[in-house]
Structure 1
C-alpha cells in the first residue's frame, strides 16, 4: 500500500477518507502516534525538536530496510 498524505479535503463518511484515500482507522492511529511523539519531545524539553524528528525518521527507514 502506498501512503497518501492529507490534502485538506477530509471526509468522515464510509470507511475511507475521500480526500486522501486512507482508512479512518489509519488516520486515527497516525494521529495517536504523532501525539505520542510530540508528548515525548515535550517531556524531554528538546531545544532542537527538528533534529530529533529527522533522526528518528532516518532510524525508522533504516530498520524498515532490514530483512524481517
Structure 2
C-alpha cells in the first residue's frame, strides 16, 4: 500500500477520509506519532531537527523492511 498524505480536503462522514483515502485509525495513529516526534524535538531543542528526522526515517525504513521479510 502506498502512503497517501493529507490533501486538505478532509471528510469525516465515513471510515475513510474522502480526501486522502486513509482510514480514521491510520490518520489518528499518524497524528500521535507526529505529536510524539514534535514533543521530542521540543524537549531536546536540537539545533538540527532535520538531521534527527532523517535519522529516524532511515532507521524506521530499514526496520520496516526487515520486519516485512520475517
TM-score by length of 1: 0.91
Unaligned runs of 5+ in 2: none
Cα separation, 1, equivalents of 2:35 and 2:55? 18
Q: TM-score, normalised by structure 2?
A: 0.89
Counterparts of 1:18-29 in structure 2, within 5 Å, are 18-29=18-29
Aligned length: 68
Higher normalized helix content (fraction of residues)? 2
Across the aligned residues of Structure 1 and Structure 2, the Cα RMSD in angstroms comes to 1.0
Q: Deviation of residue 45 (structure 1)?
A: 1.2
